[in-house]
Amino acid sequence: MAKSLLIVESPTKVNTLKKIVGKDFIIKASVGHLKDLPKKKLGVDVDNNFAPEYITIRGKGKILQELKTAAKKVDKIFLAPDPDREGEAIAYHIGNEVARFTKGKIYRVLFNEITKKAVLEAINNPTELNTNRVNAQQARRILDRLVGYKISPILWKKVHRGLSAGRVQSVALRIVCEREREILDFKPREYWSITLELEGSQKPQFQAKLFKIDGNKAEVANKSEADEILENLQGANPLLESIVKKERKRNPSAPFITSTLQQEASRKLNFSPKKTMMLAQRLYEGIALGKKGTVGLITYMRTDSVKLSDQALDEVRTFIPEKYGKEYLPAKPNFYKSKKSAQEAHEAIRPTDVQLEPNAIKEHLEKDSFRLYQLIWSRFVSCQMVPAVLDTTQFDITTGKYLFRSNGSILKFAGFMKVYVESNDDEQAEGAKPSAKGDDRLLPPLEKGETLKLQEILPEQHFTQPPARFSEAMLVKELEDKGVGRPSTYAAIISVIKDRDYIQNIERRLQPVELGFMINDLLVENFPDIISTEFTAKMEEQLDDIEGGRLEWTEALNTFYTPFKADLEKAEEKMKDFKAQVEETDAVCEKCEKPMIIKWGRFGKFMACSGYPECKNTKDLGDKGDSEDGGKSDEVEGNCDLCESALIMKRGRFGKFIACSNYPDCKFTKPIGLGIACPEEACEGEIAPRRSKKGRTFYGCTKYPDCKFTSWDKPVAEACPECKNPFMVEKWKKNEDPSILCPNCGFTKTNAAA
């Protein structure tokens, strides 16, 4: 008879653990939480110190019974859910349920990685349940329940049933909406750059940009100022006044924590935070590696600490000189500083065995799992390598009152860059190279005092760009910087506001829809103190204080609930009632001849027949919800491919599209084209934006599935001047003008008028 019961969260860990602990253990999985607050009611007694009502989650009764039965057969029970607040709460509820079915001792075990050494060490050194951590999770759960179950019904009553608010996700929505308003309010400002194409006594030619005028920073505001400079430069003999050469070091990045992993996986691999965490969970729980058996490949992936264990440091410091050479190993380990709020009991995300190189186990991993493991492995190894060394050169070139500057650099010693280079939000995903910057070019070996030949003057008009919309990676960073949420919640926060259709993901950037703006405005107006980054960050600090034993959980909830209750009472009375608002129009329903009215729906304003529910005729109002044409749907050229009826333009959750006017009898739809003919030979379709199953925008032919043309970049109706390709594509970078390039030959030009 087995003497011990080991209970984990995920069933995928079971096979990995069986090979480690052997036959003396029964291993069972709870499959996440077993107990939670009821779904159909609040489940919190606010008048009795916020006492929670926990019930067995629907569908989990059988699992709970299996755990109770197993508990009767053993002498010891080891509770091994994940090493975080949620895991502690799961362990607590399981412990309470099985305690009366065993005479043995119940222990809590924590392991940061599923390896033989870590698991056996945890079992041999068990701990007790951390009640402070359980209380912190319970306080967070009750806070979220109070906000969600108290505010959402008001939104149902005032706007539309099915809408929701959340303590953290509503703050994330506010951040996205405020960024969008900054963009809408942005006023572009014109400016010009002046670049010289120069040649010295040695090749190659190089460029220098106008840097100063009369010793002051060069600011060229318009064409007339640029023309004046061009006139002054005619016949100029630029002088290479100074050369500054320096050796510069570039240090490696810290090992991954949850937020940085999500950000980098988004930039380099185009993974959403949700997908990144799903893949990381698989790598953590164990992958079958042939004869090696099932192996947990990475440490726990929900962490905000950059700490590394002594064992991990010893192993990687042995590996680096063997693999890359002694010159790549620093004299002492590199240490990195975690944020003040980080849980230092956890480690950074790293491979459990540095000897398991990605390419050596590639055949055992799915493509995306391999790519994520490679990212984690490379970042970890590089973080313990020496800095890269670059030789930088700066040319200062004068002609009259104008100073031009050119920067260049060469990589003298790769250091950590031999293994890994961190991306930034300006770079494209899917294997793109780092963006070329002015100081990445190699300058010719010239002498100070040389007179240079002016080959060409290149004036260029630009316009300042608004702040960039958030990508999912950028939003994770913003949430982290503002203290909103914790590593375990970033992915879920973004998923919720996307799933609620408050925001949409267009070309990998988050944009609020009309409904998102409206919900945000209502919440900020009626709950300004709660729907704020400052309040949410303060609550996260209080949860940390509860976990640290410095604050009673009921005290934190009381501090929150008193002003929240007052806000709720005001909102019930004063929140704008969109359901009651009906705008009359002069339009008449063509189906029953009753007046048409404007109402609010799931995706914003729309026009509907006042004879509803007898008549269900509706019409789209366009982007702004304004009925400038009396409510008539926009007819478009052509006829329905299925029934030959007229086509009209409609609006859905992902924007405008073309549909048959005979809906619902005919449900034909097609996307709106860009006015660019499909480049495929003999195809009569045109290019139109489409959405992948994962919500990413791409461009394809309207004749799909007969034509399979696709492009991730937005096509532009302009032939390439170099190779005559029939179209170019548009590329965007943060804080830069858009560029137009040829997908065939790579020819690039700046879209200065954008």
| DSSP line for 37-65 | --SSS--EETTTTTEE--EEPTT-HHHHH
The residue-averaged pLDDT of 349-368 equals: 95
pTM attached to this predicted model: 0.76
Maximum mean pLDDT: which of 19-23, 403-407, 629-633 = 403-407
In this structure, of 147-151, 311-315, 434-438, the range with the lowest mean pLDDT score is: 434-438
pLDDT surpassing 50 at residue 429:
no
At 92, which CATH number?
Answer: 3.40.50.140
Report how far apart, in Å, the C-alpha atoms of 525 and of each of 98, 606, 704 are.
47, 24, 46
Least confident of 547-551, 654-658, 671-675: 654-658
Segment 48-61 shows an average pLDDT of: 94
The answer as to whether 213 is a domain residue is yes
Instruction: Indicate whether 537 and 507 sit together in one domain.
Output: yes
Residues 353 and 263 both lie in one domain: yes
pLDDT digits (tens, 9 = 90+) for 483-524: 898 888 888 899 889 888 899 888 789 999 888 999 999 999
Closest-CA residue to 493 (of 174, 34, 193): 174
The CATH number linked to 161 is 1.10.460.10
Q: Which domain holds residue 304?
A: 258-386
Q: Is 598 helix (H, G, I), strand (E, B) or coil?
A: strand
pLDDT digits (tens, 9 = 90+) for 294-319: 889 999 998 989 999 999 999 999 99
pLDDT surpasses 70 at 120? yes
| 273 close to 472: Cβ distance less than 8 angstroms | yes
Average pLDDT (736-741) is 67
Which residues have C-beta within 8 Å of that of residue 717, sequence separation ≥ 6?
Answer: 674, 675, 676, 727
**Residue 659 domain-assigned (yes or no):** yes
- Range from 408-412, 443-447, 650-654, 744-748 carrying the lowest mean pLDDT: 650-654
- Is the domain of 634 the same as that of 570? no
169-185 vs 490-499: helix axis angle to the nearest 10? 70
Q: Which residues of 525-563 are buried (b: 16+ CB within 10 A; e: fewer)?
A: ebbeebbbbebbbebbebbbbbbeeebebbebbeebbee
Q: How far apart are CA 698 and CA 714, in angstroms?
A: 8
pLDDT at res. 628:
36
Rg of the Cα atoms in the chain: 31
Residue predicted with more confidence, 191 or 709: 191
Q: Tell whether 88 and 144 lie within a shared domain.
A: no
Please check the confidence at residue 7 and state whether its pLDDT lies above 80.
yes
And the tokens for 238?
């630029």
Helix (H) or strand (E) holding 128: none
Checking 34-38 for CB contacts under 8 A at 24+ apart, the result is 34/60, 34/63, 34/64, 34/90, 34/93, 34/94, 34/97, 35/93, 35/97, 36/141, 37/141, 37/142, 37/145
Least confident piece of the model among 349-353, 521-525, 690-694, 725-729:
690-694
Given a cut of 60, whether residue 430 has pLDDT beyond it is no
Q: Are residues 263 and 380 in the same domain?
A: yes
Q: Are residues 721 and 635 in the same domain?
A: no
Whether 381 and 393 map to the same domain: the answer is no
pLDDT band with cut points at 50, 70 and 90 for residue 60: very high
128: which strand partners?
Answer: none
Name the least confident of 28-32, 364-368, 610-614.
610-614
Residue 597: inside a domain:
yes
User: Same domain for 599 and 503?
Assistant: no
Q: pLDDT of 562-585, one tens digit each?
A: 989 999 999 998 998 887 777 778
Question: Is residue 418 scored above 90 in pLDDT?
Answer: yes
Q: Which ranges constitute the DSSP H helices of 500-624?
A: 514-526, 533-547, 553-574
Number of independent structural domains in the chain: 6
Instruction: Give the pLDDT of residue 649.
Output: 73
User: Which positions are catalytic?
Assistant: 300
pLDDT at 632 > cutoff 50: no
Tokens of 270: 């185009």
Output the pLDDT for position 660. Answer: 83
The C-alpha atoms of residue 498 and residue 486 are separated, in whole angstroms, by 19
Q: Which of 574, 599, 630 is the last residue of a domain?
A: 574
Same domain for 609 and 587, yes or no, is yes
Does the structure show a pLDDT above 60 at 213?
yes
**Is the pLDDT higher at 731 or at 573?**
573
Query: Which of 528, 557, 574 finishes a domain?
Result: 574
Residue 718 lies inside a defined structural domain of this protein: yes
Distance CA 659, CA 677 (A): 20
> Of the residues 670, 704, 732, which one is the last residue of a structural domain?
670
List all residues 6 or more positions away from 547 whose beta carbon is below 8 Å from its beta carbon. 85, 130, 132, 133, 135, 136
Asked whether residue 441 is domain-assigned, the answer is no
Residue 371: closest CA among 359, 380, 353: 359
Looking at the structure, do residues 556 and 475 belong to the same domain, yes or no?
A: yes
Rounded Cα–Cα distance for residues 289 and 300 (Å):
19
Q: Are residues 122 and 171 in the same domain?
A: no
Mean pLDDT, rounded, for 670-690 = 79
Give mean pLDDT, residues 71-92. Answer: 92
Assigned domain for 208 exists: yes
pLDDT band at 630 (very low <50, low <70, confident <90, very high): very low
**Residue pair 376/264 in contact by the 8 Å Cβ criterion:** no
More confident residue, 148 or 656: 148
| 8 A C-beta contact, residue 408 and residue 443 | yes
pLDDT at 440 over 80: no
Cα atoms in the 13 Å half-sphere on the side-chain side of 524: 15
Give the model's pLDDT for residue 737.
53
| pLDDT over threshold 50, residue 428 | no
CB 610 within 8 A of CB 621: no
pLDDT band at 683 (very low <50, low <70, confident <90, very high): confident
43 found inside a domain: yes
pLDDT of residue 261: 95
The answer to whether residues 507 and 627 belong to one domain is no
Angle formed by the axes of helices 12-21 and 273-285, to 10°?
A: 30
In a domain, 589, yes or no: yes
